[in-house]
């Protein structure tokens, strides 16, 4: 069977072996595309999110649906590929979409994966995406990413990112922005590392969507 035939059959109904091959290639994409990132958004972060997402998915009862588990794993693996904070070239915005196309992922799965990735960020929650109805796969992937943003790992990641961007650590004259819009949140010049805790990280526990993440 040719590679094209294999991917064509996978697009209709994946086999466990075919899907594991896709996962391996997704892992390779993560390692190559995120190689230059600082440790706050590197491959180990992705591995942690993938493991957390699969664990949450099992706790939320998704393990009985193979399609749901595949969507969760691929969305978790690819969620930071082409992240706007690290773009070196505009073409990188299409890395995930191109990968899913090349792998022959079924259109229904591809749409769900892309919707999770495009809507799971905190900035998107500020824009109102988080207030809409969401599929269970969305909740487990988003919560997994947020669990890696709190606690000891989350604190370390926050200071790592701030140091890498030469962000002001703390300035009493710069007040935290409590009423944020998506556009306001993304204005880098207004941010300090300590304020980031008040503006985002300390809010995450109340924004978790799954029972087991809460």
pLDDT at 178: 74
Name every residue whose Cβ is closer than 8 Å to that of residue 97 and which is 6 or more positions away in sequence: 110, 114
Q: Tell me if 149 sits within 8 A of 157, measured CB to CB.
A: yes
Number of domains in the chain: 1
- Give the range of the structural domain holding residue 35, as residue numbers without chain letter: 3-207
pLDDT of residue 88: 84
Contact 57, 142 (CB under 8 A): no
**pLDDT for the residue numbered 61:** 97
pLDDT of residue 189: 63
b/e code 159-192 from CB counts within 10 Å (16+ = b)? bbbbeeeebbeeeeeeeeeeebeeeebeeeeebb
Beta-carbon contacts of residue 106 (< 8 Å; ≥ 6 apart) = 11, 12, 14
Here the CATH number for the domain that contains residue 143 is 1.10.3210.10
Q: Which residues lie across from 192 on neighbouring strands?
A: 168
* 214 inside domain: no
Query: Would residue 213 count as lying in a domain?
Result: no
Whether residue 185 is contained in a domain is answered as: yes
Strand partners for 168: 192
Strands (E), 141-197: none
Instruction: Give a yes or no: residue 21 inside a domain.
Output: yes
In a domain, 26, yes or no: yes
Its pTM stands at 0.87
pLDDT, averaged per 10 consecutive residues of the chain (214 residues), comes to 37 74 98 96 98 98 97 98 89 94 97 96 74 88 98 97 94 85 66 92 94 94
Query: Residue 212: inside a domain, yes or no?
Result: no
- Do 199 and 185 contact (CB within 8 A), yes or no? yes
| 60 within a domain of the structure (yes/no) | yes
In a domain, 62, yes or no: yes
């Amino acid at each position: 069977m040719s590679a094209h035939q294999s991917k064509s059959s996978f697009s209709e109904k994946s086999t466990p072996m075919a899907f594991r091959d896709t996962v391996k290639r997704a892992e390779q994409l993560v390692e190559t595309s995120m190689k230059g990132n600082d440790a706050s958004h590197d491959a180990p972060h992705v591995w942690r999110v993938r493991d957390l997402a699969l664990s949450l998915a099992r706790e939320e009862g998704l393990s009985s649906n193979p399609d749901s588990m595949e969507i969760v794993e691929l969305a978790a693996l690819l969620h930071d590929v082409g992240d706007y904070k690290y773009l070196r070239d505009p073409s990188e915005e299409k890395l995930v979409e191109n990968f899913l196309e090349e792998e022959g992922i079924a259109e229904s799965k591809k749409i769900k994966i892309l919707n999770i990735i495009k809507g799971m960020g905190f900035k998107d929650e500020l824009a109102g995406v988080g207030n809409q109805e969401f599929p269970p796969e969305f909740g487990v992937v988003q919560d997994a990413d947020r669990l890696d943003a709190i606690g000891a790992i989350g604190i370390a990641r926050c200071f790592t990112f701030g140091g890498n961007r030469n962000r002001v650590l703390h300035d009493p004259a710069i007040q935290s922005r409590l009423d944020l819009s998506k556009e306001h949140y993304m204005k880098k010049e207004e941010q300090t590392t300590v304020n980031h805790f008040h503006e985002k990280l300390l809010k995450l526990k109340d924004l978790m969507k799954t029972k087991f993440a809460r």
